[in-house]
Structure 1
Amino acid sequence: MPVLPVGSHPSRLAANERLRGAMVAANVTIEALADHLGIDPKSVDRWLNSDRTPHARNAEAAAKFLGADAYHLWPKLGERRRSTPTAQDEVVACYPMRSTVPYGLWRSTLAGATRVIDLAVSNLLFLADTVWDLPTLLADKSAAGVRVRIVAPENPAGPVTGLGDVFPSLLSVPGLRLSTHPGLRADMMRADDDLLVTTPFDGLTPALAPVLHLRRLGSAPMVGGYLATLDHLYATATPTRPVASHLRAVAA
């Protein structure tokens, strides 16, 4: 029997034909959507075969994955009581330390960005090991019109040395904003409305600190605070300016 792309009840008319159509158009199965959202496939099946509306966080993430509008897929989403999202609503997951974050989450989060990528990274080597094709991915995103900013700690040997040693090819990517900051002690990765943030405190290195996976919901207070911090960080960082003649010689 062939595997159905969506819906596990072929004899029953799905209650949500908009969601079914979006999944068929995107060639996404129930299992694939559930895996992307980190939920049980039975939940996605219920969305298809009943009038159940998912939590706003899952609805927005599912719609983004399918290239659709959440309020089109679930019209009742807009009928729910309108209240200010709480910090708890923004938390997608919490991991006890960096090594417990699913390995592919770092790259898949960046790969899904369509508007903004911000990297404030205290450990460039960790990022290089985790996202092996990071320079290519960021170059492609920048070429596609995504705003990409990277800030790293200052290196005693020079402002460009740290970034240049770990990601030399990034120095020649047009439109990429590279900078350094002396006060960078934690890690924060933003891709559109998703953030992965380490939360170290005195005596605890970022590698051993808990990691929050956050997703912005409207004027959500927690993500809003982190985004304001990111903007301040970039505003007070020192831009890196690789020597243009050297880059031309390498390219040649």
Structure 2
Amino acid sequence: MANDRLRDSLLRNGLTPSAVAEKVGVDPKTVERWITQGRPTYPKFRHAVAAMVKESESYLWPNAIPPERAARVAQSELVTLYPCRSVVPEALWNRLFNEATEQISILVYAGLFLPEQRPKLVRELKAKAAAGAKVSVLLGDPDCDEVRRRGMDEGIGDAVPTKIRNVLTFYRPLQGVRGVDVRFHRTTLYNSIYRFDDEMLVNTHVFGFPAAHAPVLHLRRLAGGDLFEMYTDSVDRVLAGSVPAWTEAVAA
């Protein structure tokens, strides 16, 4: 069976089988077999190719890594577990925002604390987008049942839709900015996710408690790991089903 993930990753990065073969030190026909026949390869070659295309080994070769090793790698992807969001150090938030160069993804219902605690947030996101990063802000649709249900679960009634409308005013200057996508989703969120390149903070949701009082996982992507990729896939799925927060386009 052909390895379509590997083929697509090489094409997106402008890499030919010959170029890959030269870089990793194998025959071009060997790379062709990896692609067309899905042939397995040695770990050192998987590491090298994954680094070239900026994908994880588990994504490119999902069946190549034994479950025991995958479990160990996943444990290593967990940098720290914070008992609640309020104790995540401000220095960590600052570092993640400052060091991100390729992607910033924010998946929340409202996430009002971010613009409230970071007065320069909009300016930061604009600057990151101008430098080439892809910025996605996914907010809950304030008119959907999932958002209303979240407010009921937290015991705060209609406060969540109100928070979303408030936070949208903070993000208004991002409307029409190239490289920035502010969108609405109608997803039942089990976690709020904040991704910065190959690191992320996953704020779990606990029934009856606001997100600020729930645990936060600090994850760092590792080759061969599945944990980071699982949450990344979750963000991508929500993004695929989302709609623009604003209908009209305004030039940056």
Class of the TM-score when normalised by the shorter of the 2 chains: 0.5 to 0.7
Amino acid aligned to 1:220 = G
Structure 1 counterpart of 2:180: 176
- The answer to whether 1:240 aligns with 2:245 is yes
In the alignment, which of 106, 116, 131 is matched to residue 103 of structure 2? 116
Equivalents in 1 of 2:247, 2:99: separation in Å?
29
- The answer to whether 1:104 aligns with 2:117 is no
3-state SS of the aligned residue for 2:175?
helix
Amino acid aligned to 1:164 = L
Equivalents in 1 of 2:128, 2:209: separation in Å?
33
Structure 1 counterpart of 2:197: 192
Equivalents in 2 of 1:193, 1:98: separation in Å?
20
TM-score by length of 1: 0.59
Structure 2 counterpart of 1:73: none
Shift, 1:175, TM fit = 2.2
For structure 1, which segment, 103-112 or 93-102, has the greater mean C-alpha deviation from structure 2 after superposition?
A: 103-112
Size of the aligned set, in residue pairs, is 164
Shift, 1:115, TM fit = 1.0
In the alignment, which of 58, 82, 99 is matched to residue 95 of structure 1? 82
Poorly superposed stretches of 4+, deviation over 6 Å: none
Mapping 1:105-144, distance limit 5 Å: 105-144=92-131
- The answer to whether 1:202 aligns with 2:207 is yes
Residues 149 and 164 of structure 1: CA distance in aligned 2, closer, same or farther (over 3 Å) = same
Mapping 1:127-166, distance limit 5 Å: 127-156=114-143, 161=165, 163-166=167-170
Deviation readout 1:13-53 (Å, 9 max, x if unpaired): xxxxxxxxxxxxxxxxxxxxxxxxxxxxxxxxxxxxxxxxx
3-state SS of the aligned residue for 1:135?
helix
Structure 1: which 5+ residue stretches go unaligned? 1-82
Equivalents in 1 of 2:168, 2:133: separation in Å?
22
In the alignment, which of 213, 217, 223 is matched to residue 222 of structure 2? 217
Q: CA RMSD in A?
A: 2.3
Deviation readout 1:36-74 (Å, 9 max, x if unpaired): xxxxxxxxxxxxxxxxxxxxxxxxxxxxxxxxxxxxxxx
**Is the Cα–Cα contact under 8 Å of residues 202 and 216 in structure 2 kept in the other structure?**
yes
Equivalents in 2 of 1:142, 1:129: separation in Å?
21
3-state SS of the aligned residue for 1:140?
helix
Deviation readout 1:197-232 (Å, 9 max, x if unpaired): 111232222111100100000131111110110110
Shift, 1:163, TM fit = 4.8
Bigger RCO (CA 8 Å, 6+ sep)? 2
* Percent identity (aligned): 32
Structure 1 counterpart of 2:34: none
Amino acid aligned to 1:114 = T
